[in-house]
Amino acid sequence: MLLPLILITSAILSAGWMAYGISPSLAQYSHGLQIIMLTRRLQWPLVTVSVLLCLVLLVLVISGKKRAWWLIGLGPVLALFAHRFATNPQNQFSVIENPPMVAPDSAGAFLRDDDWIVGVVFDDQPYAFPYAQLYSNPVVVNSSREKRMLLMWSPFANCATANLVDRDVHGRELDIVSMPANAVLVYNRRLGQFMNGVTGRTPDGSAPTGVRAPLAAQKATWKDWLAAHPDTKVMSPTGRPIAGAPSGPVVPQHPTPGADETDAKKLIVFIPATQPVAVFEEEVKAAPINVSAGGLPVLIFRDPHSHQLRAFDRHVEEDLMPRFELNTDRRRKDATFIDVDTNTGWSATGVAVDGDKSMRGRKLRPVEVQEDLYLGVMKYWYPELKLVHP
């Protein structure tokens, strides 16, 4: 009597840990993220233990030492295996390598003007990855000649990270484990290493093995991206797309520890730096915002003509980091901003257009920022995040 109970209970516990130990909801608890990662590392040992225990029980029944009705206890084990490898919501997400790409004039069959895409310029070639395709394939490995790119998309954080990677990084070695605190968690089976889709780094904050340099990932409507990059290539639908996959931003779906209910879903503009900085998106308008992200002085504003978000490094010279104000002098027609240190006029593209001759023609260096991110999610993954107000 005791032996079958021990076998069945142990098999169910092993299968239950394997099936539910990767649940995104665990991230809201202390050490929840560590439990998710440990479960993925132990996935196949747990499967092996559970299967062996079931086989022992089966042998006992076949040999006549135990009654056949004990086999009913194998039902929950089978159900847990089915949940983990068939019905678990995480199974709808997959990694894709070198997805099919089409020209813009062929994208009309699956892409509308107001559909959102993640745009990346890789090896001098623009690529557009529609939200609807990324929802089912949130991790993309793409090759171009001798270069390779890794794109990780966290749909419930509305956050994309892209990096140049080594040639030995392959999609077949990557697993999507879970989405704790709304960030996609990727596991490299060959290296035994995890990558976070929001930070682009390992859980301990270091650079993943094989990652060379970051690439700018821009979120935009298909119409805006196509206007800026008419020679873009577009990821076309592949495999079995998820029915009703969203073609635009979605709100966070999983618990985010420590997030205040009122601020959790507030949209921010995020500036990655040694000291990450965020500004509420509703506060970023045509008037320039001068902030400091660690040791990086940044100018942020929304282009008064295109309404696109722009950000520049305020370094004009090594020791000159002027503050900018909106130009109110109608006589300086080409100047959108005036820097208060040199009284130079600057265009919305970061070029000095009037003022002292020694300043004209100088250009500000663009800074990568992301908008439409959720404060609660970013605050969790960047605990040192500083929220500033104009």
pLDDT at 261: 67
Alpha helices in 202-301 (DSSP H): 222-228
Give the mean pLDDT per block of 10 residues along the chain (390 residues).
89 96 93 95 96 93 87 92 91 92 92 95 94 94 91 95 94 95 96 95 92 92 94 88 81 82 83 90 92 90 86 91 91 90 92 90 92 93 90
Q: What is the pLDDT of residue 33?
A: 94
pLDDT value, residue 1: 73
Domain 267-388 fold is Rieske Iron-sulfur Protein (2.102.10)
pLDDT of residue 294: 83
pLDDT score, position 241: 67
- Locate the domains of the chain by residue range: 2-91, 95-235, 267-388
* CA pair distance 66, 334, nearest whole angstrom: 90
pLDDT of residue 247: 87
- The enclosing H or E element of 268 equals strand 267-271
Answer for the pair 337, 346: CB distance below 8 angstroms, yes or no: yes
Dist. CA 29–CA 14, nearest whole Å: 21
Q: What is the pLDDT of residue 81?
A: 95
- pTM, 2 dp: 0.90
Spell out the residues 6+ positions from residue 155 whose beta carbon is closer than 8 angstroms to its own: 131, 134, 135, 138, 246, 250
Using a 10 angstrom Cβ sphere, with 0-12 exposed, 13-18 middle and 19 or more buried, the burial of residue 262 is: exposed
